[in-house]
Amino acid sequence: MRLLALNKPFGTICQFSPHETRASLADWVKVPGVYPAGRLDSDSEGLLLLTDDGALQARIAEPLHKLVKRYWAQVEGAPDSVALTRLASGVDLGDYVTRPGHAQLIEPPGTLWPRIPAIRYRAAIPTTWIELSIIEGKNRQVRRMTAAVGFPTLRLVRVGIGALDIFSLGLEPGASLDLPPRAPWDGIR
């Protein structure tokens, strides 16, 4: 059984097949037979787990296992306590209501690598960082959630899955590492 952690760079699609205009996982991961356990859209960055074990892949990705995914979102504007409460209690996105999670304002992260290309800068509109913790991960869910409460996401980084944290793993964008089969962060198994 293999389990890899990858810091997926911005602009990389979450598949191994080549793409005409974007980098794919094959540009960063040279281990054969592994597949992503969950996804990050090409505009999102951060921690992605890959495995060759289907049961483990489902355990990581399926919301019924309640494995927390932690995101840092740089949003346009300055969310207030009402917006944070809506994010934490579940947001009606039209086609579904998100499950409850956790949302809080955080200081701009000094440990975060610069994004290439940088996000657009608009002097008249402030930006704020939010930490969101959720157990599901539907297509563009965090972006849709922040937009639904009036604060569109400009940059989105997954910083944690279960007890794994991208910074404690020491992963720079594009870097990956093998995780031990019986890890102390056993929240995934």
- Express each pLDDT in 37-85 by its tens digit: 988 999 999 999 999 998 888 888 877 777 899 999 999 999 999 999 9
Catalytic residue at 80? no
**Whole-angstrom distance, CA of residue 84 vs CA of residue 37:** 28
Task: Report the percent of the chain where pLDDT is more than 90.
Answer: 74
Residue tagged active-site, from 27, 41, 52, 53: 41
**Whole-angstrom distance, CA of residue 27 vs CA of residue 104:** 34
The CATH number, out of the four listed (3.30.2350.10, 3.30.450.20, 3.40.50.300, 1.10.600.10), of the domain defined by the range 3-183: 3.30.2350.10
Provide the pLDDT for residue 188.
52
| Residue ranges of domains in the chain | 3-183
- Mean pLDDT score, 167-188: 78
pLDDT band at 182 (very low <50, low <70, confident <90, very high): low
Contacts of residue 133, defined as CB under 8 A and 6 or more positions apart, other chains included, come to: 68, 69, 70, 71, 101, 102, 103
pLDDT band at 34 (very low <50, low <70, confident <90, very high): very high
Q: Are 33 and 66 in contact (CB under 8 A)?
A: no
Looking at the whole model, is its pTM more than 0.85? yes
